[in-house]
Amino acid sequence: MKNQILILLFALLAGAYSCKPTEKKGEEAPLIGKPNLELKSDIMTPEVLWSFGRLSEPEISSDHKTILFGVTYFDLAQNKGNRELFTIAPDGSALKQITSTMFNEYQAMWGPDGKKIFFLSPESGSMQLWEINPDGNGRKQITNIENGINGYKVSPDGKMLLYTADVYPEKQYQDLYEGLPKATGKIYNDLMYRHWDSWVQSYSHVFVAQLNGTVTNGKDILLNEPYETPLMPFGGMEQINWSPDSKTIAYTCRKKKGIEYARSTNSDIFLYSLSTGETVNITEGMMGYDVAPIFAPNGDKIAWLSMERDGYESDKNRLFVMDLTTKVKIDFTKNFDQNAEAPAWTDDGKSIYFISDWHATDEIYRLYLSDGMIKKITQGIHNYTGVIPAGERLITTRVSMSKPAEIYSVDPTTGQDTPVTIINGDILGKLTMGRVSQRWIKTTDNKEMHTWIIYPPHFDSTKKYPTLLYCEGGPQSTVSQFWSYRWNFQMMAANGYIIVAPNRRGLPGFGQEWNEQISGDYGGQNMKDYLSAIDAFVKEPYVNKDKLGCVGASYGGFSVYWLAGNHQKRFKAFIAHDGMFNLEAQYLETEEMWFVDWDLGGPFWDKNNKIAQRSYANSPHRFVQNWDTPILCIHSELDYRIVATQGMQAFNAAVLRGVPAELLYFPDENHWVLKPQNGILWQRTFYNWLDKWLK
């Protein structure tokens, strides 16, 4: 339910549907690149939204003179995207496209000496590692691994390669399949047999090999271990790293299986010695998520992100540092009531930069190890999505509700940022975006709640506008300055709606107490917070209080279903995407049991568990007798986090109740909608439904 790593989404969007070029009646399909878009007006449409170049994965050369990054463009006719590589100087000059192929190039990284660029591409049929010169010449395949690789990192000395690849264990019950070559049935005897959007048939392991010529196979450092690294479904190569001397690999792993794996978030950091083959667990006894290990530049320390409690996926993300000589571990965020994300060492090893969310924006912070002081570096109406120290500057990507990702250079002394790339400047220059403002609204328990308000382009305060209450998912994901290609606030505003997006109870960025209140209280205070937000805002003279809608996905979809039975006729239209409708069914249908155990309090059959019984008493399906408002239900077949039958149950209930309803069903999408034409269909259906009932 939680979108933990945006890089994964970029990779999926770029590559999941475009591994091989399509053909049209024997002719090769045209190369996908930057579209030549003719806008009919200054108001954004779904087609314009999908024409933006999607920038991701910036990397800077060791001499800090050149930034490497990728941009994905989509073609609606081909129903896929294509990602190419670019380089640019930190001052924004010397922009150069260095690849131009029918294949995606991503996870691009500089070689240690800056003379080569490495990247993954499916050009040979499976995902393999390639290299290229910085000028775009000398393209060469480096690996030839059976079934391909998932990720990689070159050692700091340039002599070794670690890569991740799937390992397929021997099938159980072989004797039962004898003589049945066309049998498709799968037999399982434990959890977790499916995860996120796929059935579990393999594990991702780390392999290490000499990097000299073509790599055909490597040593599996988790040989015969039925565990995965990085962690599915959101973990990436930030969970695996080399030591500066190229002698040790640090990796993240949850060494559990079956029902124990499904109920636990207790991952650990392991150090593997290349010389001895010995593996050491450096976080043993630390019970929550421990992820993203990074060595200090001189190799004497290692930092990582850590959660304290097992089973709680949204616990405070702490920043730990361990002295590898003394083995002393220090939580440098003990008195910092915020999460830490994306840590990065300074070149001198005396400080660590990281990203943290506070009051609905993601900013850059600096930890000084000498005295433990944490300093906020940046401030503004935006989100930074990562930070790379580069001499006297920081290189980062920045987004907002009004602008997709671009690379920026930040002065760490003043916090002032300067754009490096302007990939989407031409389109943005032709569009009028709605004004984004923020206000603090009083809740029913006399708290102050931060709320974003997004106004339509060319807003006229003398007119009255239909207004949407936006319900956030996660459930513990901040309504920050994110830019989405589905839940895009400017896209909603462009259709003539005001959007009210509250940071209700159960969201980070406002202290741990505010964040944790939601656990075990589904349908409780956070629902009152939603109603407080919309009730306060409808007092504005430009809001048409008779034309209110309510929309949301995941936990936001749950919120819509719950409010549909408890809104006292405030709303005239609802839209729920991938929402939980029946919590008792959800407990036994979802794949990650730790989530429902923690958030709902436990199984519905535990009648002595007051928290659990309160959760199930607040299941949206228990209020369906009150439904009287048109509702659009959206769900996808490959969503194993919240299965498609949840949306079908809600739709069926509405129809049987005589409530106007529609069901938008995607047989080939997961918890997200990733394919271009499906994305356009989603947008058109979304606004067709709202316009029908609110205009």
Look at residue 14 in the predicted model and tell me its pLDDT: 41
Domain boundary pick from 430, 460, 485:
430
Map tokens 């490597």 to a residue. Answer: 218
Residue 575 lies in a domain: yes
Whether residue 48 sits in one domain with residue 5 = yes
Whether residue 304 sits in one domain with residue 175 = yes
Distance CA 633, CA 264 (A): 31
pLDDT digits (tens, 9 = 90+) for 137-168: 999 999 999 999 999 999 999 999 999 999 99
Domain boundary pick from 430, 451, 480:
430
Whether residue 450 sits in one domain with residue 390 = no
**Residue 82 pLDDT > 50:** yes
Look at residue 59 in the predicted model and tell me its pLDDT: 98
pLDDT category at 213 given cuts 50, 70, 90 is confident
Whether residue 222 sits in one domain with residue 105 = no
Cis omega (within 30 of 0) for bond into 30? no
Look at residue 28 in the predicted model and tell me its pLDDT: 76
Rounded mean pLDDT, 378-403: 97
Task: Return the DSSP state at 215.
Answer: B
pLDDT digits (tens, 9 = 90+) for 279-301: 999 999 999 999 999 999 999 99
Rounded mean pLDDT, 526-540: 98
Look at residue 580 in the predicted model and tell me its pLDDT: 98
**Residue 21 pLDDT > 90:** no
DSSP E strands in 332-373: the ranges are 341-345, 351-358, 361-368
Residue 305 lies in a domain: yes
For the chain, how many structural domains are there in total? 4
Whether residue 190 sits in one domain with residue 280 = yes
pLDDT digits (tens, 9 = 90+) for 102-139: 999 999 999 999 999 999 999 999 999 999 999 999 99
Whether residue 85 sits in one domain with residue 14 = yes
Distance CA 624, CA 621 (A): 5
In this structure, the dihedral spanned by the alpha carbons of residues 399, 405, 410 and 412, taken in order and rounded to 10 degrees, is 60
pLDDT digits (tens, 9 = 90+) for 48-64: 999 999 999 999 999 99
Number of separate helices (H) and strands (E) present in the chain: 13, 40
pLDDT category at 24 given cuts 50, 70, 90 is very low
Rounded mean pLDDT, 403-418: 98
Cα 318 to its chain centre, rounded Å, is 19
Q: What is the mean pLDDT of the chain?
A: 95
Residue 577, C-beta contacts closer than 8 angstroms, at least 6 positions apart? 551, 552, 553, 554, 556, 557, 634, 635
Tell me how far CA of residue 158 lies from CA of 61, 116, 242, 246, 302, in angstroms. Answer: 14, 10, 11, 9, 21
Distance CA 622, CA 600 (A): 16
Domain boundary pick from 409, 430, 451:
430
Q: Which of 430, 433, 469, 465 is nearest to 451 (CA)?
A: 469
pLDDT category at 638 given cuts 50, 70, 90 is very high
The set of catalytic residues is 554, 639, 671
Whether residue 305 sits in one domain with residue 235 = yes
∠91-95-100 over CA atoms, to 5°?
155
pLDDT digits (tens, 9 = 90+) for 651-683: 999 999 999 999 999 999 999 999 999 999 999
Distance CA 500, CA 549 (A): 10
pLDDT digits (tens, 9 = 90+) for 308-358: 999 999 999 999 999 999 999 999 999 999 999 999 999 999 999 999 999
More confident residue, 269 or 11: 269
Amino acid at 531: L
Look at residue 37 in the predicted model and tell me its pLDDT: 84
Whether residue 96 sits in one domain with residue 180 = no
Residue 595 lies in a domain: no
Other CB atoms within 10 A of residue 45 CB: 19
**Residue 251 pLDDT > 70:** yes
Rounded mean pLDDT, 252-257: 97
Whether residue 253 sits in one domain with residue 392 = no
Whether residue 204 sits in one domain with residue 123 = no
CATH assignment at residue 637: 3.40.50.1820
Residue 192 lies in a domain: yes
Q: Name the pTM for this structure.
A: 0.95
CB burial of residue 469 (10 Å; 0-12, 13-18, 19+): buried
Rounded mean pLDDT, 537-563: 98
Pairing of strands 374-376, 361-368: antiparallel
Range 612-615 contact pairs with CB under 8 angstroms and sequence separation of 24 or more: 612/520, 614/520, 614/521, 614/524, 615/520, 615/521, 615/522, 615/523, 615/583
Look at residue 4 in the predicted model and tell me its pLDDT: 40
Whether residue 674 sits in one domain with residue 549 = yes
Whether residue 635 sits in one domain with residue 547 = yes
Residue 247 lies in a domain: yes
Tokens of 404: 């997709």
Other CB atoms within 10 A of residue 107 CB: 24
In which domain, by residue range, is 341 found?
Answer: 332-430
∠389-395-398 over CA atoms, to 5°?
135
Distance CA 104, CA 106 (A): 6
Distance CA 387, CA 326 (A): 29
**Residue 581 pLDDT > 90:** yes
Distance CA 245, CA 298 (A): 8
Amino acid at 554: S
Residue 150 lies in a domain: no
Distance CA 647, CA 661 (A): 12
Residue 88 lies in a domain: yes
Residue 585 lies in a domain: no
Q: Which of 683, 678, 560 is nearest to 49 (CA)?
A: 683
Q: What three-state secondary structure class fits 204?
A: strand
pLDDT digits (tens, 9 = 90+) for 474-529: 999 999 999 999 999 999 999 999 999 999 999 999 999 999 999 999 999 999 99
The proportion of the chain whose per-residue pLDDT surpasses 90, expressed as a percent, equals: 94
CB 466, CB 694: distance < 8 Å: yes
Look at residue 170 in the predicted model and tell me its pLDDT: 84
pLDDT category at 27 given cuts 50, 70, 90 is low
Map tokens 């080399």 to a residue. Answer: 242
pLDDT digits (tens, 9 = 90+) for 223-243: 999 999 999 999 999 999 999
pLDDT category at 172 given cuts 50, 70, 90 is confident
Tokens of 192: 């977790």
CB burial of residue 638 (10 Å; 0-12, 13-18, 19+): middle
Tell me how far CA of residue 366 lies from CA of 186, 238, 377, 388, 529, in angstroms. Answer: 50, 19, 7, 12, 33
Q: Which of 388, 409, 424, 414 is nearest to 89 (CA)?
A: 409
Look at residue 15 in the predicted model and tell me its pLDDT: 41
CATH assignment at residue 424: 2.40.128.660
**Residue 359 pLDDT > 50:** yes
Report helix angle 555-564 to 525-537, nearest 10.
70
**Residue 598 pLDDT > 70:** yes
Q: Which of 674, 593, 668 is nearest to 638 (CA)?
A: 668
